[in-house]
Amino acid sequence: MTNSPKGFTLNNADSCRVKFARRFLRSLIEIKTRQTNYNNNLSSSPSSSSEIRRRSERIKLKAYSSMAHAVGPRKAWTRALLLKLHNRAKRHRFRTRKRSSLAMVLKKKRVFRVKNHANFYKPAAERGNYSVLNSDEKTEKLRELVPGGKAMDICSLLEETAHFIKCLAMQVQVMHEIADQLSN
Amino acid sequence: MQPCSREMQGMSSLLNASSSQISLEDLQQQQSQSSSSIQGSQIHQIHASHYEPPPSHDDFLEQMLSTLGPPSWADLGGQPGKVPWDTTTTVPDGNGPNNKPRDDETPDNVPAFPFDESANLASKFRNHQISGGCGSKSAAAAAAAMMLQHQLMLARGGGAAGAGETGLVPMPLSLSNGEFDRSQNDVVDGSSSFKSPTSGCDAAVQALYNGFGAGSLAGAGQAPNQFHHPQGGSMAAQQNYGASGPAMNQTQAPSGSSGAQPAQPRPRVRARRGQATDPHSIAERLRRERIAERMKALQELVPNANKTDKASMLDEIIDYVKFLQLQVKVLSMSRLGGAAAVAPLVADMSPEGNGGDCIQANSNGGTHGRTSNGNTNNNQTASSNDTMTVTEHQVAKLMEEDMGSAMQYLQGKGLCLMPISLATAISTATCHTRNPMINNNHHHPPIGSNGEGPSSPSMSVLTVQSATTGNGAAAADGSVKDAASVSQPW
């Protein structure tokens, strides 16, 4: 990566990027080796359209998973994303991956929930919610976009959205740089 | 969690009085009995972060803010100077704001016919170079620090935002404390949404905060409610911090307030002028303020977010998130190993129901009954270098949504659709300076640097290809609309 300061002390933003980059590159390598193994075994064309689509989907999922892992289970959206990825992995592969980290994620999730706002468990009307934002169609759309957004009130949803946007931007930037490096 | 040894060192440096130590232990005991040791460790974490280099989030925050463009924090008075913990340079990527275009993502390569929602997103956010750095990073960080302090003050153990931003504590110490003080006075009496802990905590908490100062308050905003609320009385007693309170206080409450002055301890909530002391309305007011803060934070993150309306702001946010996700998808596709994979990938796109006057060389859709000349153009695509790859895929994404609504959306955004012949004429005639303007939202200033040499010929190549495909296709309605929409921004 051209812009990561290797000679200096890495601050936390950079460490996040470096963590993400490392994980993502590792997943890329893993996908590549899996692809070549698959091709060696079954001589299927690597450039068939469905194969490519599946591979890109896999890469995309790996990108999100690397990012969620790099950020850690601190935020609600990373926890939701990690859970979703884990469930998907379990469902699709029928083998348990990273059980221990999943358990850790769940434990942390419980712990974090203790500190949640007291209003969370009350219905919207009782919270004194006169703001339209909580059940707007736009907020619904936002909830769909942000992982874990369905179970949040508008306050935390906005907060999570901000952090999510930040992480997405970082992810896009890093992936962009990686693509540049790989294509040069 | 955080390394405990570091926290202990930080704590020992903080503890300058034995009484404070004792009170901390008392507090810890209280804490442990009421909840897990999480809070204790969090207090450690908070206090440690008061002195240690900022943990995870805030530098990440700075980084993100720096790369995502200059914020408008004039109202909060963000200083353009360096903040104490800013250890990095102001230009992390080596890219100035919008001055280093990525060859494979130059906006002017995006053709003039974004038919799709994804195209809308791409065109809308084209000028927002994610890779571009920003010179006012420290301003962003400082302002964000203050803003998040705000959040911490008002978020009583609510959000996880407090977790990350405890590192921001050092700077607006007095400000936040005054702010916190005031807001505490608001909610300390009769707020139904918060549980108040046992009164036995009070003395311990008071001593604790006498020892540690206001910064820990901000960090403790993350701690559970029970830890927070006895501070209402204790904080009120510490008026030495309230000096800079008014600066932040104004942002919190309307100025006509007749009560809740930080000067004296106030066990009772005084009504602001014209507002009731009803706990519901107070809670609701706080909640609205919190929401407003978060929306402001989001406004800084999302480009082109100069909308004051909440609904349109939400629209922008949603669009931006979709755009970023689309970029991830496109990038993950372009990662498949170079130009060789592009052609089959591109061929893959065409049967996927791509529509319309595809400016790209790859595909024309069958869903709208247009002739598909994609295959003939694939060779050209394959031969193009990878700088075009991402753009191509991005544009290939255009063909997924409904065209009519896409057009309407574009017109609503003030984007300009133009007939391909016109685009060709413009691009060949006026070269790069025109290219950004062709597709741009009028909010975005044209990026001169994007119009490099290679991009304009590619632009004309694209338009030529699309001319052949588009005119050949049954795009009558499309071209009519194009002509119609041209008149709008021009």
Instruction: Answer whether A112 sits within 8 Å of B160, measured CB to CB.
Output: yes
* A112: pLDDT strictly greater than 80: no
Instruction: Answer whether A118 sits within 8 Å of B56, measured CB to CB.
Output: no
SS3 B257: strand
Instruction: Answer whether A56 sits within 8 Å of B333, measured CB to CB.
Output: yes
What is the pLDDT at residue B1?
Answer: 47
A6 part of contact set with chain B, CB < 8 Å? no
Chain A residue with CA closest to B295: the answer is: A158
Q: Answer yes or no: are the C-beta atoms of B290 and B151 closer than 8 Å.
A: yes
What is the pLDDT at residue A44?
Answer: 57
- For chain A, give the longest Cα–Cα distance: 63
What distance in Å separates the CA atoms of residue B374 and residue B354, rounded to the nearest whole number? Answer: 10
What is the pLDDT at residue A178?
Answer: 84
What is the pLDDT at residue B400?
Answer: 54
Instruction: Answer whether A115 sits within 8 Å of B325, measured CB to CB.
Output: no
What is the pLDDT at residue B427?
Answer: 74
How distant is the Cα of A128 from the closest Cα of chain B, in angstroms? Answer: 6
- The answer for A 69-98 residues in CB contact with B (under 8 A) is 72, 74-76
Q: Answer yes or no: are the C-beta atoms of B401 and B475 closer than 8 Å.
A: no
B102 part of contact set with chain A, CB < 8 Å? yes
Q: Chains A and B: how many Cβ contacts under 8 Å?
A: 241
- Written as six digits, the tokens of A34 are 């899996």
Q: For residue B175, how far is the Cα from the chain centroid?
A: 24
What is the pLDDT at residue B132?
Answer: 45
SS3 B272: strand
B220 part of contact set with chain A, CB < 8 Å? no
Chain A residue with CA closest to B314: the answer is: A138
pLDDT tens track for A37-93: 877 777 655 567 777 777 778 788 878 888 888 887 788 888 888 888 888 888 877
User: What is the full DSSP assignment across B138-196?
Assistant: HHHHHHHHHHHHHHHHH-SS--THHHHGGGGTTTTHHHHHHHHHHHHHHHTTT-TTS--
A107 part of contact set with chain B, CB < 8 Å? no
Residues whose CB falls within 8 Å of the CB of residue A40, separated by 6 or more in sequence, listed in order: none
Instruction: Answer whether A52 sits within 8 Å of B336, measured CB to CB.
Output: yes
* A27: pLDDT strictly greater than 50: yes
A125 part of contact set with chain B, CB < 8 Å? no
First-to-last alpha carbon distance for chain B, in angstroms, is 57
User: What is the full DSSP assignment across chain A?
Assistant: --SS-SSS---HHHHHHHHHHHHHHHHHHHHHHHHHHHHHHH---TT-HHHHHHHHHHHHHHHHHHHHHHH-TTSHHHHHHHHHHHHHHHHHHSS---HHHHHHHHHHHHHHHHTS-GGGGS-TTTTT---GGGG-HHHHHHHHHSTTGGGS-HHHHHHHHHHHHHHHHHHHHHHHHHHHHHH-
A119 part of contact set with chain B, CB < 8 Å? yes
> Using a CB-CB distance cutoff of 8 angstroms, which residues of chain B are in contact with residue A169?
64, 67-68, 130, 301, 324
B315 part of contact set with chain A, CB < 8 Å? yes
Q: Phi-psi bin for B213: left (phi > 0), alpha (psi -120 to 50), beta?
A: left
Quickly tell me which residue has 């319309």 as its tokens: B356
Quickly tell me which residue has 């080596």 as its tokens: B94
What is the pLDDT at residue B78?
Answer: 42
Chain B residue with CA closest to A166: the answer is: B64
Count how many residues are written for chain A. Answer: 184
pLDDT tens track for B376-415: 444 444 444 454 565 555 555 555 555 655 566 656 666 6
SS3 B328: helix
What distance in Å separates the CA atoms of residue B227 and residue B243, rounded to the nearest whole number? Answer: 24
What distance in Å separates the CA atoms of residue B79 and residue B69, rounded to the nearest whole number? Answer: 16
What is the pLDDT at residue A69?
Answer: 83
* A144: pLDDT strictly greater than 50: yes
φ, ψ (nearest 5 deg) of residue B94: 75, 10
- A146-149, long-range: CB within 8 Å, 24+ apart, which pairs? A146/A77, A146/B321, A147/A77, A147/A78, A147/A80, A147/A81, A147/A84, A148/A76, A148/A77, A148/A79, A148/A80, A148/A81, A149/A77, A149/A80
> Using a CB-CB distance cutoff of 8 angstroms, which residues of chain A are in contact with residue B159?
117, 155-156, 159
What is the pLDDT at residue B386?
Answer: 54
> Using a CB-CB distance cutoff of 8 angstroms, which residues of chain A are in contact with residue B322?
145
What distance in Å separates the CA atoms of residue B374 and residue B364, rounded to the nearest whole number? Answer: 6
Chain B residue with CA closest to A130: the answer is: B284
Instruction: Answer whether B301 sits within 8 Å of A52, measured CB to CB.
Output: no
B295 part of contact set with chain A, CB < 8 Å? yes
Amino acid in the structure at residue B178:
G
What distance in Å separates the CA atoms of residue B130 and residue B148, rounded to the nearest whole number? Answer: 23
Amino acid in the structure at residue B464:
V
Residues facing residue B257 across a β-bridge: B272
What is the pLDDT at residue B265?
Answer: 59
Across A114-138, average pLDDT? 52
Q: How many domains, in total, are found in chain A?
A: 1
pTM over 0.80: no
What distance in Å separates the CA atoms of residue B404 and residue B255, rounded to the nearest whole number? Answer: 49
What is the pLDDT at residue A7?
Answer: 58
Sequential pLDDT tens for chain B (490 residues): 444 555 455 444 544 444 444 444 444 455 445 444 444 444 444 444 444 444 455 555 555 555 555 444 444 444 444 444 544 444 444 444 444 444 444 444 444 444 566 666 667 666 655 554 434 444 444 444 455 455 545 544 444 444 444 444 444 444 444 444 444 444 434 444 444 444 444 554 454 445 444 444 344 344 444 444 444 444 444 444 444 444 444 444 444 444 444 555 556 666 566 566 788 888 888 988 988 888 888 888 888 767 778 888 888 888 888 988 888 888 888 766 543 344 444 444 444 434 334 333 333 333 343 433 434 444 444 444 454 565 555 555 555 555 655 566 656 666 665 677 777 777 777 665 544 444 444 444 443 343 344 444 444 444 444 444 444 444 444 444 444 444 444 4
Q: Tally Cβ neighbours within 10 Å of residue B246.
A: 15
Using the 8-state DSSP alphabet, how is residue B270 labeled? P
Residues whose CB falls within 8 Å of the CB of residue B363, separated by 6 or more in sequence, listed in order: B346, B347, B349, B350, B352, B354, B372, B374, B396, B399
What distance in Å separates the CA atoms of residue B161 and residue B293, rounded to the nearest whole number? Answer: 12
What distance in Å separates the CA atoms of residue A137 and residue A153, rounded to the nearest whole number? Answer: 14
Instruction: Answer whether A182 sits within 8 Å of B298, measured CB to CB.
Output: no
Average pLDDT over chain A reads 73
What distance in Å separates the CA atoms of residue A169 and residue A151, rounded to the nearest whole number? Answer: 24
What distance in Å separates the CA atoms of residue B240 and residue B263, rounded to the nearest whole number? Answer: 9
Q: What angle do CA B338, B459, B326 make, to 5 degrees?
A: 55
Task: State which residues form the domain around A139.
Answer: 2-183
Q: For residue B16, how far is the Cα from the chain centroid?
A: 40
> Using a CB-CB distance cutoff of 8 angstroms, which residues of chain B are in contact with residue A158?
291, 294-295, 297-298
What distance in Å separates the CA atoms of residue B350 and residue B374, rounded to the nearest whole number? Answer: 7
